[in-house]
Amino acid sequence: MEKQYILSFDQGTTSCRAILFNRDAQIVGVAQKEFTQYYPTPGWVEHDAMEIWGSQMGVAREVLETQGIKPSEVAAIGITNQRETTVVWDRHTGRPVHNAIVWQDRRTAPLCDELKERGLEEYIREATGLVADAYFSGTKIRWILDNVEGAREKAERGDLLFGTMDTWLVWNLTRGECHVTDVSNASRTLLYNICTLEWDQRMLDELGIPAAMLPEVRPSSEVYGTTGAEMFGGARVPIAGIAGDQQAALFGQACFEKGMVKNTYGTGCFLLMNTGETPVPSKSGLLTTIAWGLNGKVEYALEGAIFIAGAAVQWLRDELKLIDSAEDSEYYAGKVDDAGGVYMVPAFAGLGAPYWDMYARGAIFGLTRGTRKEHITRATLDSLAYQTRDVIDAMQADSGITLKSLRVDGGAVANNVVMQFQADMLGVNVDRPVVTESTALGAAYLAGIAVGLWTQDEVVNKGRLERTFEPQMNAELRERRYKGWKKAVRRTMNWEREDEE
Ligand SMILES: Nc1ncnc2c1ncn2[C@@H]1O[C@H](COP(=O)(O)OP(=O)(O)O)[C@@H](O)[C@H]1O
Ligand SMILES: O=P(O)(O)OC[C@H](O)CO
């Protein structure tokens, strides 16, 4: 039977998805399952790695069954994942020693302050391309070693393994044979040297993390191993692509040329600009990160990471219960001309790029007795566009490149109000592709390239636009609105710091 499908595992922050692509890179089936979010204390966010493994396998089997496709017809699996989220497990039992600590979790902020006090900021930026923030995996591993009874001793004996979700899934899929990650995921750990392309011994020493816990770092497109025979009814499917979800989206949008930018609107918003084969250091609060390793070389990106975007819409739905579904936000926001002077700063997990304030917290400003839920909903949607503007301004300053248009993808780009306001706030066209599942598509491309289903050149021609949003707001109004946003952001900063008056 011809092997003509690629199965993408998209292990996101809120759900596991399995997406089946045919050899024309068209989606033939999708299965998705949300999993539990744990908030044990304010500012902490955890996932159950066993639940994620079960959900991911569940959706993979479901999509094959519903489409009537045999596992033996799948040429390869590509894996893409929420990055930084940290799981540590026992290599003998396969059981995690603690819930996974999610990228949004702020518990290690004091440890990051300590790294700064020890004068490590510059070294961190140079060696890892990152900043001393609780976002990244390194301090989360350290927290587990310090807080789970017996973990440090076991880790030192070589009994514990660390992984981001890609590593965890591949380890389970291969029944413990492969403990690997790819360069794009490694570059988000705070432990990987993006210049020498090795684990950074100084960072390991500074954080007290035994090297024996770490996975082997590999390119983003190659056969890492095959699935255990019992996983898919006897078929041994090659696992042939791994990339962090934001880098995968950059690949899926075919941003292969230097200067090409995409923005993914999911739980958070992540803007990445391809900067080619040399790392570009940032002076404006962006991250320097590895885009992918492919064809014997590594390419880099500048990244603006916004922690809360679509998650703010979920908050309106789940916590405030202002809307019944994320889609409803478009309906309510569309009933008013604008946010009526209301600004919503969703600094629920501090602020990422370009502010990097672990102690900022969310706030709504400009409320009056005339403020309605439509205004609050509108202000929440506006915050996705304002935060993106913050990052684009930084990116233009760092790269010297002026943005001509923005390619978008991710769940929240279905929202036309957000897309129009984004074009207005940037003053450039916003291009929405037909396939907005760029993340899964990128992982499929990487896996398909590794098994010879297509070449990188063929990938360039596959993307098609569904709609372009053109700016309609005049420049004076745009800048006035944006100034209000900056004022609101300033007032949320440092909120959680104990010593702040
Ligand atoms: N029509 C919509 N309007 C606004 N936000 C939306 C809409 N549809 C989905 N979202 C938001 O997008 C996010 C889901 O996008 P997705 O790309 O699946 O995210 P992730 O990969 O981070 O789990 C959710 O946070 C949801 O609130
Ligand atoms: O799950 P997503 O798509 O919101 O992505 C999360 C990021 O990878 C975190 O860095």
* Alpha carbon distance 198, 194 (integer Å): 7
If one residue of 8, 9, 10, 14 were mutated to test the ligand 1 pocket, choosing by the most ligand atoms within 8 A of its CB, it would be 14
pLDDT of amino acid 451: 95
* Alpha carbon distance 85, 207 (integer Å): 17
**What is the CA(221)–ligand 1 centre distance, in A?**
27
**What is the CA(330)–ligand 2 centre distance, in A?**
23
Q: Is the CB of 311 under 6 A from ligand 1?
A: yes
pLDDT of amino acid 438: 86
Q: Ligand 1: which residue has its CA nearest to atom 7?
A: 412
Q: Is the CB of 12 under 6 A from ligand 1?
A: yes
As annotated, the binding site includes 13-15, 17, 83-84, 135, 245-246, 267, 310, 314, 411, 415
Mean pLDDT by 10 residues, the chain (501 residues): 88 95 91 94 95 97 94 95 97 97 94 94 95 95 96 95 98 96 98 97 96 97 92 89 96 89 93 92 90 95 94 95 96 96 95 91 96 97 98 89 88 96 96 86 96 85 82 96 97 82 54
pLDDT of amino acid 456: 83
Q: Is the CB of 245 under 6 A from ligand 2?
A: yes
Q: Ligand 1: which residue has its CA nearest to atom 8?
A: 412
Q: Is the CB of 272 under 6 A from ligand 1?
A: no
Name the E strands within 46-176. 46-47, 74-81, 87-90, 100-101, 160-163
3-state secondary structure 320-362: CCCCCCCCHHHHHHCCCCCCCCCEEECCECEECCCCCECCCCC
Residue 20: beta bridge partners?
7, 29
Q: Is the CB of 13 under 6 A from ligand 2?
A: yes
pLDDT of amino acid 349: 87
* Ligand having the closest approach to the CA of 382: 1
Residue whose structure tokens are 């996983």: 231
Is the separation of the CB atoms in 254 and 463 below 8 Å?
Answer: yes
pLDDT of amino acid 241: 97
Is the separation of the CB atoms in 368 and 379 below 8 Å?
Answer: no
Closest CA to 383 of 411, 351, 410: 351
Kindly give the interhelix angle for 245-252 and 438-450, rounded to the nearest 10 degrees: 80
Q: Read off φ and ψ for residue 179, nearest 5 degrees.
A: -115, 85
**What is the CA(82)–ligand 2 centre distance, in A?**
4
Shortest-distance atom of ligand 1 to CA 10: 21
Q: Is the CB of 357 under 6 A from ligand 2?
A: no
